[in-house]
Amino acid sequence: MAERSEVVFVDGVRTPFGRAGEKGMYWNTRADDLVVKAIIGLLERNPSVPKDRIDDVAIAATTQQGDQGLTLGRTAALLAGLPKSVPGFAIDRMCAGAMTSVTTLGSGIGFGAYDLAIAGGVEHMGRHPMGFGADPNPRFLSEKLVGEDALNMGMTAERIHDRFPHLTKDRADRFAMLSQQKVAAAYAAGKIQADLVPVALRSESGWGLATEDEGMRPATSMEGLASLKTPFRAHGRVTAGNSSPLTDGATASLLASGEAARELGLPPKMRLVSFGFAGVEPEIMGIGPVPSTEKALRKAGLSIDDIGLFELNEAFAVQVLSLLDHFGIDDEDPRVNKWGGAIAIGHPLAASGVRLMIQLARQFSEHPEVRYGLTAMCIGLGQGGSVIWENPNWNGKA
């Protein structure tokens, strides 16, 4: 049996993320066009990649209907100008859709079935709110397989506060405020724009161009956050300010075997080390990245102390804090979300996993002293996903 192939993350891009809804910049833009734009941008950045050498395209979406339906990987590949010989498929693992696109195609590369693959995700939460049109089996509740809160992500976040009272609203608000500040600083330093694919916009007032994330609120203050309503529970702790906003956007990444990358002169930005997915009680889904990270570390033969950079999806501030608390990491550890996260940038569900990877890859290039990094996220219905990456720029010095 052949040895496992080296799996590398060659490149990743994304659209700017927009606010969901009629007032958002993508209200008149189709979901599939967003991911097509990302794929075209990815291929334009990597002109040495022969399009007919791409072995598969996996595109994730959580609500697979309308312009997010019809086997997105295949339709997006055709619309992006890939040859008809290139196959594709769609993936749904809710918030970890794009992450699962990467781990699925990465597994195919590791097995030797693929040389090159495109993995990404899209979510147009304005057109397709999470769970819209779904018909959950009534036995979930009648047989008490899950609690009533399991399908309400905000309530699952409130339950983390319940279970861990020391994870206070004040801590969550401070984490959220710092996320906004870190994203603003990263934009000011030109860290994020390099991986954004501009998108043409059509509105009643004419044409425009999306070049940056729409949901940022750099002036966020602790006083302002303290005054926000708690929509999920009276006198609760989860607010719009310490949660990710509803968001539209798309991501795309190019994966390759180490051999194919060398053949085509594609310098890898990251090497895939291990990954793990885990299930937890759906009513408290936000703790999912704890067991998935433990699983990924165990598979890699590493400990949490080996991780030099963390990109954690900020679905809710308290959810990230629960992982940091479990591993004994300070709320403001400089290794964590150096350029902020989803609270400021947005979380277009199935697209977000690759956004985490894009930011980690860019940080790897700036930090040759860091060998390993982690991308991790919680997943609806009680799951967590974690991927460990190695920095190809590592200089062997701690």
Report the CATH fold assignment for 7-128+245-390: Peroxisomal Thiolase; Chain A, domain 1 (3.40.47)
Q: Mean of the per-residue pLDDT values for the chain?
A: 96
Active-site annotation holder among 124, 326, 347, 367 = 347
pTM higher than 0.85? yes
- Tens-digit pLDDT profile for residues 42-94: 999 999 999 999 999 999 999 999 999 999 999 999 999 999 999 999 999 99
The whole-angstrom separation of Cα 85 and Cα 79 is 13
The whole-angstrom separation of Cα 61 and Cα 50 is 26
- 161 is a catalytic site residue: no
- 235 is a catalytic site residue: no
Q: Are 354 and 375 in contact (CB under 8 A)?
A: no
E strands, 186-342, in order: 199-203, 206-210, 247-257, 270-279, 307-312
Residue with tokens 């599939």: 32
| Percentage of the chain exceeding pLDDT 90 | 90
Active-site annotation holder among 124, 128, 161, 378 = 378
The whole-angstrom separation of Cα 376 and Cα 374 is 6
Residue range 325-340: mean pLDDT, rounded: 98
The whole-angstrom separation of Cα 42 and Cα 44 is 6
Q: Alpha carbon of 358 to those of 238, 273, 374: distances in Å?
A: 28, 16, 12
The whole-angstrom separation of Cα 395 and Cα 398 is 8
The whole-angstrom separation of Cα 384 and Cα 16 is 25
pLDDT at 147 exceeding the cut of 90: no
Strand partners, 275: 387
Angle, CA 289 vertex, CA 307 and CA 108 arms, to 5°? 80
